[in-house]
Amino acid sequence: MTHKIAIIGASGYTGAELIRLIAGHPNMEIAALVANSKAGQTMDSVFPHLRHLDLPPLVTLSEVDFSQMDLCFCALPHKTSQEVIRDLPRGVRVVDLSADFRLEDPAVYEKWYGNPHAAIERQAEAVYGLSEFNRDAIKDATLVAGTGCNAATGQYILRPLIAQGVIGLDDIILDMKCAVSGAGRSLKEGLLHAELSEGYNAYSVGGVHRHLGEFDQEFSKLAGRDVRIQFTPHLIPANRGILATAYVSGNAQDVYDTLAQAYATEEFIQVLPMGETPSTHHVRGSNYVHIGVCADRIENRAIVIAVLDNLTKGSSGQALQNANLMLGEEEHTGLRLVPCFP
């Protein structure tokens, strides 16, 4: 059976990435592509790399009959996403790639994002979409909130460690290195090739990055107490990839064993042999996560490093993985693309 799929926000990078992945999915048909600002254009004029695909033209939201859709991906900016999803017919399954339904408490949402929550009634039914940790709820969900790309990377490291109590909770540091596509297709001086290539810098330093809202929520729930981590993202001159370096207190071998066991049967999460470290090169364009653990020379200190592709496993791949769960497909369908190296 072929599922009819709509993508709202099809003219951004995550929209294009969804199309790239779905094109290889045997049981999905892209039935509608919504991009209000570029409605009327063909997809190949917006993304020429999709030229050979037989895709519907870009349309406005109001032109789509969502009741005919089996599932809808929403790849809009936050705030807009809430307003759009609020007004969709209730029957259609939705995977939201924005931040709008990730935070359970609307007050916390407003604190981090600055605007009041515009769809509180739908927030109640939203399921947090980190596939490996929330499968059962996702299968039954009508609205899944995809995690942030940084938030996903950090959680793949820290969730099992916090849940099993093998690390200290009060001195966790995540130093993150992020490729530029995470910033989207927005026109800012700092994202120009001439400004960004050949150098790098930190940003949102000191505990102000919005993905901390997710870390706080999820880690505190797991620990049964408030957990506040330090998190510093850095912008790196590459297009795809996130590398998170976690500094934790705890026995490195216990850390390793906990992660190895947690992901032993997870197809997309690869724990490297003890002492090896991963590279973003080796997950590029794919849905895989590589995790490495090293002991420090200082006793009871461990370093855990994880990498993933922010556009794939960090957003659109994760979204498709969740959609597969919601639609009763094999979870991995369309997602076994081998990383593209070199």
Judged by CB under 8 A, the chain residues 221 through 250 that form the site for a copy of itself are: 228, 230, 232, 234, 236-241, 243, 245, 247
Does 149 participate in catalysis according to the annotation?
A: yes
Residue among 120, 90, 87 at smallest CA distance from 103 = 120
Instruction: Pick from 4, 27, 39, 53 the residue near a copy of itself by CB under 8 A.
Output: 53
Q: Does 290 bind a copy of itself (CB under 8 A)?
A: yes
Q: Does 120 bind a copy of itself (CB under 8 A)?
A: no
**Residues ≥6 apart with Cβ < 8 Å to 127:** 134, 137, 138, 141, 143, 144, 145
Decide: 62 and 35 in contact? Cβ < 8 Å. Answer: no
Report strand pairing: 126-128 vs 173-178.
unpaired
Site for a copy of itself in 250-289 (CB under 8 A): 267, 270, 272, 275, 277-286, 288
Which stretch, 14-22, 106-114, 132-140, 254-262, contacts a copy of itself (CB under 8 A)?
14-22
**Residues ≥6 apart with Cβ < 8 Å to 35:** 9, 10, 11, 15, 41, 46, 58, 59
Cα distance between residue 152 and residue 184, in whole Å: 17
Instruction: Pick from 4, 79, 86, 301 the residue near a copy of itself by CB under 8 A.
Output: 301
Instruction: Pick from 29, 202, 300, 330 the residue near a copy of itself by CB under 8 A.
Output: 202
Q: Does 43 bind a copy of itself (CB under 8 A)?
A: no
Q: Which of 74, 149, 178, 294 is catalytic?
A: 149
Before 233, cis peptide (omega within 30)? no
User: Closest approach of Cβ 126 to a copy of itself, in Å?
Assistant: 26
Closer to a copy of itself by Cβ: residue 95 or 271: 271
Closer to a copy of itself by Cβ: residue 101 or 215: 215
Instruction: Pick from 6, 19, 126, 325 the residue near a copy of itself by CB under 8 A.
Output: 19
Residue among 73, 104, 97 at smallest CA distance from 5 = 73
Cα separations in angstroms, 85 against 6, 74, 81, 93, 121 = 13, 8, 6, 10, 11
Closer to a copy of itself by Cβ: residue 139 or 228: 228
- Contacts with a copy of itself by CB under 8 A: the residue count is 89
Rounded to the nearest 10°, the torsion over CA 132, 137, 138, 143 is -140
Q: Active-site residue numbers? A: 149
